[in-house]
């Protein structure tokens, strides 16, 4: 029996070639609209070019979710498919994937398709995809419904926190006043935010300077849940040195299992901007 694990491109991993596996990973790309230019968030996207285009563009940039047909194609190519999407409170992608499921099952009613709202993005979606693969491969006879139920429980236990240094995109999209954004930037103040259980964004704290920011992040992590044995993924937007320092701070402050660093893809770079850091744990 063939299995597909499907994520939209806000999961910071490109198509994975999982050798000797009955599981295939498929990334369904979003599109990023910057002025007259369109960037498809697939393996060909170049994040530095995207960020440069966004800096040069004076008007607001936007995103476009994948079509239901794109999801239907992914679901139709395996016996069983499990799909994780960016939070339904942040994007129409969940609705597109749900419609794609209906389209696939209309044509292939024998197939099994599960769509799960990650209530998050980035590293949490990577953790979900990896857990799905492990559950499938560890089972002698994988039970589709049981695996989906376990993944929903796992999703509810995951948390996301992120920090921003660049506020240009928020200002251009009218989500932050220019005076506030410029003041925060000039003072070296970092905004620290997390996601609510419903998948919306909540500003949790502000800190000045790298060290205080990273300390505030680990404090926020500890307050959000028991991090003992947690797997942590840091996605960085053109900020590997900052990600390394944050990893060191987490390992000092929290009893996590490990910390992995990944680079933001297009969609997460679009929102995080230069030096942004997104944690899933």
CATH of region 160-280: 3.30.1180.10
- What is the share, in percent, of the chain residues with pLDDT greater than 70? 89
Mean pLDDT of 265-273: 92
Residue 133 vs residue 202, higher pLDDT: 133
Only one residue has tokens 């949790």, namely 204
- Render pLDDT for 7-22 as a digit per residue (tens, 0 to 9): 999 999 865 666 556 8
Question: What integer pLDDT is reported at residue 158 of this predicted model?
Answer: 97
User: Would you state the structure tokens that stand for residue 212, as one six-digit string?
Assistant: 């205080």
Q: For the chain, what percent of residues have pLDDT higher than 90? A: 72
Coil, helix or strand for 66? coil
Q: Strand 160-164 to strand 277-280: parallel, antiparallel, or no bridges (unpaired)?
A: antiparallel
pLDDT at 59: 83
User: Domain-by-domain residue ranges, the chain?
Assistant: 3-30+65-156, 160-280
Q: What's the distance, CA 210 to chain centroid? A: 23
Span 95-141, pLDDT tens digits: 999 999 999 999 999 999 999 999 999 999 999 999 999 999 998 89
Distance CA 182, CA 178 (A): 6
Q: What is the mean pLDDT of residues 267-273?
A: 91
Q: What is the pLDDT of residues 164-193, one digit of tens each?
A: 877 666 656 555 455 444 545 555 678 888
Per residue in 225-242, pLDDT (tens digit) is 999 999 999 999 999 999
- In 165-215, at which residue ranges do the beta strands (DSSP E only) sit? 189-195, 201-208
Average pLDDT over every residue of 54-76: 93
DSSP 8-state code for residue 61: P
Q: What per-residue confidence (pLDDT) applies to 187?
A: 53
The predicted structure's pLDDT at residue 179: 45
Helix axes 240-253, 210-224, angle to 10 degrees: 50
Which of the pair, 168 or 243, is modelled with greater confidence? 243
Domains 3-30+65-156 and 160-280 share a fold: no
Q: Is 78 exposed, middle or buried (0-12, 13-18, 19+ CB in 10 A)?
A: buried
The answer, yes or no, to whether residue 26 has pLDDT greater than 80, is: yes
Q: In which band, very low, low, confident or very high, does the pLDDT at 195 lie, cut at 50, 70 and 90?
A: confident
> What's phi and psi for 158, nearest 5 deg?
-80, 155
pLDDT of residue 238: 95
**Residue 3 Rama label (left phi>0; alpha psi -120 to 50; beta):** beta
Task: State mean pLDDT over 44-66.
Answer: 91
Average pLDDT, whole number, for the chain?
A: 90
**CATH classification code of 3-30+65-156:** 3.40.50.10440
Task: Work out the pLDDT band at 53, boundaries 50, 70, 90.
Answer: very high
């Amino acid at each position: 029996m063939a299995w597909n694990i499907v994520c939209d491109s806000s999961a910071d991993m490109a198509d994975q070639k999982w050798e000797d596996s009955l599981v295939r990973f498929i990334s369904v790309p979003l599109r990023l609209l910057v002025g007259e230019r369109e960037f498809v968030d697939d393996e060909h996207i170049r994040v530095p070019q995207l960020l440069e285009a966004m800096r040069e563009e004076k008007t607001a940039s936007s995103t476009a979710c994948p079509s239901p047909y794109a999801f239907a194609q992914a679901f139709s190519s395996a016996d069983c498919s499990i799909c994780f999407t960016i939070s339904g409170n942040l994007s129409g992608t969940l609705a597109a994937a749900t419609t794609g499921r209906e389209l696939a099952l209309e044509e292939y009613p024998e197939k099994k398709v599960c769509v799960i709202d990650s209530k998050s993005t980035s590293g949490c979606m990577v953790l979900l995809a990896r857990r799905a693969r492990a559950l499938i491969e560890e089972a002698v006879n994988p039970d589709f419904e049981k695996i989906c139920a376990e993944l929903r429980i796992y999703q509810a236990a995951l948390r996301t926190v992120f920090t921003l240094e660049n506020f240009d995109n928020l200002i251009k999209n009218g989500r932050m006043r220019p005076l506030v954004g410029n003041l925060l930037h000039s003072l070296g103040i970092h905004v620290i935010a997390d996601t609510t259980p419903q998948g919306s964004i909540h500003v949790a704290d502000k800190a000045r300077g790298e060290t205080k920011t990273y300390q505030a992040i680990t404090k926020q992590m500890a307050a959000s849940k028991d991090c003992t044995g947690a797997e942590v993924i840091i996605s960085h937007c053109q900020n590997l040195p900052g990600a390394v320092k944050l990893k060191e701070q987490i390992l000092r402050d929290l009893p996590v299992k490990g910390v992995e660093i990944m680079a933001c893809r297009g969609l997460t770079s679009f929102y995080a901007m230069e030096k942004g850091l997104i944690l899933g744990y």
